[in-house]
Amino acid sequence: MKLFSCLMALLLFLLQAVPGLGLAKDTLRCVGYHGFCFHSKSCPEPFAAFGTCSRRQKTCCIGMCGN
């Protein structure tokens, strides 16, 4: 699951570079903290909620990458 969160963060980071795909500010903040957007209000174990994504429609989940 840690690998998945790292890959999702990398994917969202790369999408920022594509013209016309501007991400919401809360999504950019989530990605900046190596998080990923989750559709539910609660994050799966061992991740913790860290705010919102997609203009407050999803939950930002963060975890420890590389440990």
- pTM comes to 0.59
pLDDT band of residue 60 (cuts 50, 70, 90) is very high
Tell me the pLDDT tens digit for each residue of 7-28.
877 777 766 665 545 778 898 8
Domain ranges of the chain: 24-63
Tell me the pLDDT tens digit for each residue of 27-52.
889 888 888 899 888 888 888 999 99
Amino acid at the residue 60: C
- Mark 37-66 as b/e (b = at least 16 C-beta within 10 Å): bbeeeebeeebeebebbeeeebbbbbbeee
Q: Say how many C-beta atoms besides its own lie within 10 A of residue 27's C-beta.
A: 24
**CA Rg, the chain, in Å?**
11
The CATH number of the structural domain formed by 24-63 is: 3.10.360.10
The pLDDT, as a whole number, for residue 17 is 60
